[in-house]
Structure 1
Amino acid sequence: MGSKKIWASYVAMVVVQFAYGGSNILIKIALNKGLSQLVFIVYRHLIALLLFGPLAYFLERKQRPSLSLPTMIKIFFLSSLGTTIHLNVYYLGLDYTSPTVASSLSNVILGFTFVMALLLRLEKVKIESAKGRAKVCGTLICIGGALVFTFWKGEYLFKGFTRSPLIDIHDESRGSIHGSMHHKENWIKGSLLILTGNIAWSASLILQKLVSDVFPAPLSLNTLICFFASLQSSVLALILDRESTSWRLEWDVQLLTIVYCGVVISALVYYLQTWCISVKGPVFAAMFSPLQLVIVGIFSAIVFAEQLHLGGLIGAILIVAGLYSVLWGKSSDSPLQMKVGKDDKNTLDHQTLEINMANQPLSISTNSSEKLALGFLPLIAAIKLETEMEKHSVVAEEFLTIDCCYSRIMMELGTPSNAFHVEDDGER
């Protein structure tokens, strides 16, 4: 990987965290100015739908699989969890609290996702290994930090960088929900709502993995998610928010927030995250999430005159420490991503290798239904496969992977047919 691409991935993830931090701040200001969260979600996903639709049609026209009814139902529920429920509950919690609270509690998503995957047996933990213990301990620390952050405020450490806020997000004229009379109750209520929204998002990540296996077209998938999100939120808005003025847009911070989240978050951020994950992996992308907390915290202290208290500081430190513990534990989960076939089971890290260095037949077992052919000259192929239990490493001169008839490979290599032997578990 070139140095330019490495530096570009770092810059991209910093831009992503600044974008997420900016969205939390803008949404908080817009909600305080009277923006309906239901209407906001509708407009945001309509903009994203207009962006994703043409791209999905032209770029995935040949690779997009047919859409069956069961898959459509899964995508509908995926949209319900990951957008409609998650965003509505999350934004309601943000309306009760502050952008700093929302950014801090978003770091527990990895812990929630890990617990759900563990319960559904999608994740395996070797408790006897150091990284296995790091996953478990990190998850407990992360969730414990979220509880400390939510239920214990403690003493104020300092009263912000400014005496009076440049932008007031605690308008007492709007009632006790947004005023300061019941600030502690609103803090707990808002934090619990944000945690509930994050749980829904974690569940959607699990479901998204299952949907992606049967519908491997990310642009088309996101187009359908945006369509269902707009439809579901429109129904909720017509039922719960019947004020026609809620749908009226003017040239103010509300319109800016809608356009920003629709274009920057749903389009630019999605592209940058997808590219960074393809280049550096999901663990690399997740490592930058605490940066959002720092960005929003500094901005809120200056612009909103937000006060930092002891409970929030300790809780945030525990959340970030737990997050990095889980990330370290998961850093070696998928070290090799080379595909042999079309399904997830056909990765080389799922193969087993038996080899005898004394020119005996080479035996390879694979779960793939496709042939895995290994040719080598002049001694033995260079293979390095990492399995769940141990690492197999064989050093040699050449490695060749060919998807064709075994006998034809033998003829082209000029190698005796008894030099190695391939077994395919899928056809035995």
Structure 2
Amino acid sequence: MTTTNGTWSWMDDVLPFVVMLMITCLDMSVLTIVKAAMNGGMGSIIYIVYHDALGTLILLPFFIIHIFRNVARPPLTFRLLFRFAILGLLGTCLSQVLSYAGIYYSSPTMSSAISNLNPAYTFLLAILFRMESIDIRSSSSQAKLLGTIIAISGAMVFTLYQGPEIYHTNVSPDLTNRVPLSQQPLNRVFGGLLIAISGIFASMWNVSQTATVREYPDQQAVVFWYCLFGTIQCIALSPFLEPNPSAWVVQPGIEMLAIVYGGVYSTIIRTIGVTWCLKKKGPVFVTMFTPLSIVIAVIMGVTFLGDSHHLGSAIGAIIVAVRFYIVMWGHAKEKNKLLVAMDEDLDVVDELGSHAPLLSSVKHKSEC
């Protein structure tokens, strides 16, 4: 949100940008460590259950202190608890399970590329639930639609077209001792498909989370309840995905690091940060940062996982980058249009103010 004179607000414009940029960088560091642990033999459902349970336990004492504070909040009804359970189902039990299974078969770079479908999913869902408006004659709306088409095209190129190898490194023996499944083309496509499906549920979570926070603005309570329900649902699902009891014994080293780092960051820091940004700027703003993760994932994959990169990956990344700047241009046009409309409204008040002192006083209060 900008002020009436067109200047940027630190809290409403700059800080959400900084928060989402930091979250994007930390996301890729988590995925790189988790992928290394998976290459070492840890199952994806094992990581999800442990890191969600750890995050929920860390949140518990803060939540208990929070509920005893004398803060006005809406009553916690069964309907709200049901919505929190749905958030846990969408954001943890479905989105995370499919996403990390896709990373297991592919790579963090593939995940960061396919995640660029999320803004397209979220944009369409936001229109469906009337959280975003669209005017086909507007240049900003045309940019968003074009960005959606380009995002889908780039993701398809990245997944389906591998092409000749343009960069190769050896797998680092310090992080993994197995050959990555992503070197097999069929596994690469299958992993990309799982990640794409998980993006649908992640986008549904973004839209649902935004609506829930607006109805129940106690962010800390929303985060705790949705993490708790998501953890319970994953525990109930885990025996079907990993029935071997010995696999649940976590080995010291990269597996332990992945769980602790992921539990502290993904379940707490990231969820609180994204929830705050969703409340401030909405779901489309949050998801439009995903293209930046490709560059970070490539750097970390080459440095720590010994990933090889092909021509198809480069082409797909370029297409995604083009889409990012088109959508950013559309958002800038939309913001400028809003500012012009506000200035025109104030001019009307100025014109009428000489005949109506009450309107003049209203205009003065709006400027303050």
Write out per-residue CA displacement over residues 93-118 of structure 1, whole angstroms, 9 at most, x where no aligned residue.
Answer: 00001111112222221111001222
| Residue 23 (1) aligns with residue 30 (2) | yes
Deviation at 1:273, TM superposition (A): 4.7
- SS for the counterpart of 1:157 is strand
CA contact (8 A) 2:206 2:283 kept: no
- Select the residue among 27, 43, 65 that pairs with 2:50: 43
Match of 2:100 in 1: 91
Match of 2:5 in 1: none
Where structure 1 has 5 or more consecutive residues not aligned to the other structure, the ranges are: 338-347, 363-374, 384-397, 403-428
| Residue 152 (1) aligns with residue 151 (2) | no
Q: Would the alpha carbon gap of residues 149 and 259 (structure 1) be closer, same or farther in structure 2, given more than 3 Å must change?
A: same
Q: Would the alpha carbon gap of residues 165 and 72 (structure 1) be closer, same or farther in structure 2, given more than 3 Å must change?
A: same
CA contact (8 A) 2:119 2:284 kept: no
Match of 1:34 in 2: 41
Q: Distance in 2 between matches of 1:196 and 1:297?
A: 22
Match of 1:369 in 2: none
CA contact (8 A) 1:145 1:318 kept: yes
- SS for the counterpart of 2:95 is helix
- SS for the counterpart of 1:357 is helix
Where structure 2 has 5 or more consecutive residues not aligned to the other structure, the ranges are: 1-7
Deviation at 1:204, TM superposition (A): 1.1
The TM-score, its normalising length taken from structure 2, stands at 0.83
Q: When you count strand as a share of all residues, which structure comes out higher?
A: 1
Deviation at 1:304, TM superposition (A): 2.6
Taking the TM superposition and a 5 Å limit, the aligned residue runs for 1:395-410 are 398-399=364-365
Match of 2:258 in 1: 257
Larger mean Cα displacement after TM superposition, 220-229 or 235-244: 235-244
CA contact (8 A) 1:100 1:293 kept: yes
Q: Would the alpha carbon gap of residues 216 and 272 (structure 1) be closer, same or farther in structure 2, given more than 3 Å must change?
A: closer
Which has the larger Rg?
1
- SS for the counterpart of 2:131 is coil
Q: Distance in 2 between matches of 1:274 and 1:210?
A: 11
- SS for the counterpart of 2:162 is coil
The amino acid across from 2:302 in the alignment is A
CA contact (8 A) 2:56 2:267 kept: no
Q: Distance in 2 between matches of 1:196 and 1:184?
A: 19
Q: Would the alpha carbon gap of residues 286 and 118 (structure 1) be closer, same or farther in structure 2, given more than 3 Å must change?
A: closer
CA contact (8 A) 2:56 2:228 kept: yes
| Residue 104 (1) aligns with residue 107 (2) | no
The amino acid across from 2:36 in the alignment is I
Deviation at 1:224, TM superposition (A): 0.7
Deviation at 1:170, TM superposition (A): 8.1
Q: Would the alpha carbon gap of residues 276 and 218 (structure 1) be closer, same or farther in structure 2, given more than 3 Å must change?
A: closer
CA contact (8 A) 1:42 1:234 kept: yes
The root-mean-square deviation of aligned C-alpha atoms, in Å, is: 3.5
Q: Distance in 2 between matches of 1:91 and 1:321?
A: 27
Q: Distance in 2 between matches of 1:121 and 1:281?
A: 12
The amino acid across from 2:83 in the alignment is K
Amino-acid identity (%): 27
Q: Distance in 1 between matches of 2:18 and 2:334?
A: 25
| Residue 360 (1) aligns with residue 355 (2) | yes
The total of aligned residue pairs comes to 353
CA contact (8 A) 2:36 2:305 kept: no
Match of 1:67 in 2: 76
Taking the TM superposition and a 5 Å limit, the aligned residue runs for 1:90-239 are 90-158=99-167, 160=168, 162-163=169-170, 165-166=172-173, 171-172=178-179, 178=181, 180=183, 183-239=184-240
| Residue 319 (1) aligns with residue 320 (2) | yes
CA contact (8 A) 2:209 2:275 kept: no
CA contact (8 A) 2:90 2:202 kept: yes
Write out per-residue CA displacement over residues 348-384 of structure 1, whole angstroms, 9 at most, x where no aligned residue.
Answer: 98xx88645363347xxxxxxxxxxxx67xxx2474x
